[in-house]
Amino acid sequence: MAERAHPEDKGFKGRFFGLRKSSYRQALYGRYRFCNKYITNKLVLDVPCGTGWGTSLLTGYNNVYGLDISGEAIEYAKTHFPGVFVVGDMTDMPFDESFFDVVICLEGFEHVTFLEGQAFLRETKRVLKEAGRLIMTVPLLTDRKHSGNKYHLCEYYEPELIEILENEFEMESYEKIQGPDSLIARCVLVHSSE
């Protein structure tokens, strides 16, 4: 199981000298490709962005920012990829109110505790413009047992995740897709003042 997307991580490289693609690499590219249709000429934040590799797959934006708690990952991003990369906590983002058109959180929500996840959603509403979008992918629990992934601090059963997200945002779209290790919730949410 490859956790942080890094171009040099063997979990993201193909086998047999590149003749067979890694399922993690394909999933990474697919997640970001999905986001591209929502970010044309937009100011975008990718959080957590890790090494910035995924952020670098975004196209058509006006400007892109990446935020991650790891200083080492941000240094890698700054030296390898275009964009504005900032060290920071997703529960207390160093950006002005109503700054971004789109916030992207792809497989990061499960890496914080339940309370930190709630703080992230509030912070996202704060930094998003009115009618701005939050695009998320989140692995789903299927049998109410933790996956065993030590980096997942809070995993969600589908009805619970939907309720949490709809308490803060309007659901524009929701679907389940198969990821390399589990089912993934993929949703587009809209910031509404109502």
Per-residue confidence (pLDDT) for residue 190, from 0 to 100: 98
3 within some domain: no
Per-residue tokens: 9: 């991580």
163 within some domain: yes
Long-range contacts of 59-63 (CB under 8 A, 24+ apart): 60/36, 62/101
Per-residue tokens: 137: 């992918």
Indicate which CATH number applies to the domain containing 161. Answer: 3.40.50.150
**Strand partners of residue 134:** 103, 189
CB 109, CB 120: distance < 8 Å: yes
62 within some domain: yes
Where would I find the beta strands (DSSP E) of 47-182? 63-68, 84-87, 100-106, 128-141, 156-157, 170-178
Query: How many domains, the chain?
Result: 1
Per-residue tokens: 152: 């997942």
11 within some domain: no
Per-residue confidence (pLDDT) for residue 8, from 0 to 100: 57
Residue with tokens 């109503």: 98
Average pLDDT of each block of 10 consecutive residues along the chain (194 residues)?
48 47 80 96 97 95 97 95 96 98 93 89 97 94 65 78 96 93 92 79
Dihedral angle computed from the Cα positions of residues 108, 110, 113 and 119, in that order, rounded to the nearest 10 degrees: 50
CB 48, CB 117: distance < 8 Å: no
What is the spatial distance between Cα 131 and Cα 189, in angstroms, rounded to a whole number? 9
Per-residue confidence (pLDDT) for residue 10, from 0 to 100: 52
Per-residue confidence (pLDDT) for residue 72, from 0 to 100: 94
What is the spatial distance between Cα 190 and Cα 117, in angstroms, rounded to a whole number? 17
92 C-beta neighbours (distance < 10 Å), count: 10
Per the structure, the complete domain to which residue 164 belongs is given by 16-190
pLDDT in tens, 53-104: 999 999 999 999 999 999 999 999 999 999 999 999 999 999 999 999 999 9
